[in-house]
Amino acid sequence: MTLEEALALDAADPLAPCRDRFVQGEGLIYLDGNSLGQLPRATIEATGELVRVAWGEQLIRSWNEGWIDAPARVGAMIAPLIGAEADEVIVADSTSVNLYKLIVAALRQAQQRDPARKVVVSEAGNFPTDLHIAEGAVAAVAGAELRVVERGALADALGADTALLLLTHVHYKTAERFDMAGWTKAAQDAGALVCWDLSHSAGAVGVDLNAAGADLAVGCGYKYLNGGPGAPAFLYVAKRWQDLLHNPLSGWMGHAEPFGFADGYAAAAGMKRWLTGTPSVLGLGALESGLALWDGIDMAQVTAKSAALWDIFHAAGTAAGLECVTPQDPVKRGSHISFRHAHAYEIVQALIARGVIGDFRDPDILRFGLTPLTLSHADIWSAGQMLIEIVESGEYRRPEFAVRNAVT
């Protein structure tokens, strides 16, 4: 690929106008939108207004002017991106906390159906919080256990004792993507529920929870959805489970009548029961503004552009002699690409010094997010050239690039 060819792809790109809707740093090529998405220009105005007017002037009255309904309203904006109905998604808390709520709820429900169903099955090497939270969740339910196995052993780990299969749809390190319909069926055939972590999928690849017959899902607001650092997360519960599952973190915002101020807890109908305490209104405002950019975006175009960006960067990484650990087949991966190299950390630091921001994942992975709304083909071509130069010249060997940061 030449720069001219990359520019020609940009000229024909239906998503090209999206790039200018985001703040683009001078001399920066940002390949970390799968960790913290870029700032939409509109969010500066929207959050300013939220602070100045809704908080500053309207104060407590704003709860009746849109705030109280924000978790459901913003959830409904996420629904089309993940193949859910508007009333199957709500925004609340963090991905970690939502995982806890759903795992405990699924365990309790499974044990009611059949006391032998007490095991949560998940994958070794899953994003750590998923495993840490699962560990905490099984400790909170009498008799429950966590079974963590390698990907190749997952099918055999499902059985008559399985309550829940907990999988991350797109792997945070390698970008490997599970076949959602196939694994949902495998879990359900074994009599278990499935919970999908969509943190690296929502806004990255087409997701269709309902077509797959999925039971539960969670996901992150600050990556491809551009909700900002620490943005609230979302959770999905298929309609058929909504009356049968109960939030273990039963707080007043999930009560059927929060302003009835009763002593006893009565769960709200539908998705509202998954709320716990007062939602982060500023976080919801920023997420709502990020999601507005997805309105009218054709996911087929996003998928096609992701594949084109991937091909350009894959060619560069391979030319630089890096080992690609992401599957070649587009349906078997998400929208990031990862390479393995003994000096992965140093190469990432050398790229950052040149204005190309990717990230390092311990112990030897270079990871690059290819976000189709914010990047051009020419951006990826330029980043690829810098990667080749840095590796071929040995520039990454400069001592300053070996200094470890706390956050990688």
102-to-72, 91, 250, 343 alpha-carbon distances in Å: 17, 14, 12, 39
Rounded to whole angstroms, the Cα distance separating 189 from 183 reads: 10
From the list ligand PLP, ligand 3DJ, none, partner contacted by residue 38 (C-beta under 5 to 8 A by kind): none
Strands 145-149 vs 119-123: parallel, antiparallel or unpaired:
parallel
From the list ligand 3DJ, ligand PLP, none, partner contacted by residue 95 (C-beta under 5 to 8 A by kind): ligand PLP
Residue 5 parent element (H or E): helix 3-11
In degrees rounded to 5, what are phi and psi of residue 310? -60, -45
Rounded to whole angstroms, the Cα distance separating 12 from 82 reads: 27
User: Does the footprint of ligand PLP cover residue 127 (CB under 6 A)?
Assistant: yes
Whole-number minimum distance, CB 131 to ligand 3DJ, in Å?
13
Residue 121 parent element (H or E): strand 119-123
User: Does the footprint of ligand PLP cover residue 168 (CB under 6 A)?
Assistant: yes
Residue from the set 24, 43, 47, 95 that interacts with ligand PLP by CB under 6 A: 95
Q: Which is nearer to ligand PLP, 95 or 382 (CB)?
A: 95
Hey, what are 193's tokens? 């529920």
Hey, what are 380's tokens? 């990826």
Amino acid in position 289: S
Residue from the set 13, 88, 123, 130 that interacts with ligand PLP by CB under 6 A: 130
Active-site annotation holder among 223, 272, 273, 305: 223
367 catalytic, yes or no? Answer: yes
Whole-number minimum distance, CB 95 to ligand PLP, in Å?
4
Contacting positions for ligand 3DJ (CB under 6 A): 35, 172, 407
The distance of Cα 136 from the centroid of its chain, to the nearest Å, equals 21
Q: Which is nearer to ligand 3DJ, 22 or 172 (CB)?
A: 172
Tokens 């539908």 correspond to what residue? 270
Q: DSSP 3-state assignment of 300?
A: helix
Q: Show the DSSP H helices in 177-261 as ranges.
A: 180-189, 209-212
Rounded to whole angstroms, the Cα distance separating 136 from 139 reads: 5
Active-site annotation holder among 30, 222, 313, 345: 222
From the list ligand PLP, ligand 3DJ, none, partner contacted by residue 197 (C-beta under 5 to 8 A by kind): ligand PLP
Q: Which is nearer to ligand PLP, 94 or 184 (CB)?
A: 94
Q: Which is nearer to ligand PLP, 96 or 188 (CB)?
A: 96
Q: Which stretch binds ligand PLP (CB under 6 A): 2-10, 100-108, 126-134, 340-348?
A: 126-134
Whole-number minimum distance, CB 205 to ligand 3DJ, in Å?
15
Hey, what are 79's tokens? 């629904």
CB atoms within 10 A of CB 129: 18
Q: Which is nearer to ligand 3DJ, 375 or 378 (CB)?
A: 375
Residue from the set 103, 131, 194, 220 that interacts with ligand PLP by CB under 6 A: 220
Whole-number minimum distance, CB 101 to ligand PLP, in Å?
12
Rounded to whole angstroms, the Cα distance separating 96 from 253 reads: 19
127 catalytic, yes or no? Answer: yes
Whole-number minimum distance, CB 95 to ligand 3DJ, in Å?
8
197 catalytic, yes or no? Answer: yes
Strand blocks (E) in 169-232: 193-197, 216-219
By CB under 6 A, the count of residues binding ligand PLP is 13
Whole-number minimum distance, CB 397 to ligand PLP, in Å?
30
| Bond from prior residue into 14 cis (ω within 30 degrees of 0) | no
Active-site annotation holder among 22, 30, 100, 127: 127
Hey, what are 36's tokens? 């913290």
Which residues does the annotation mark as catalytic? Answer: 127, 197, 222-223, 367
- Per CB under 6 A, residues contacting ligand PLP are 94-96, 127, 129-130, 168, 172, 197, 199-200, 220, 233
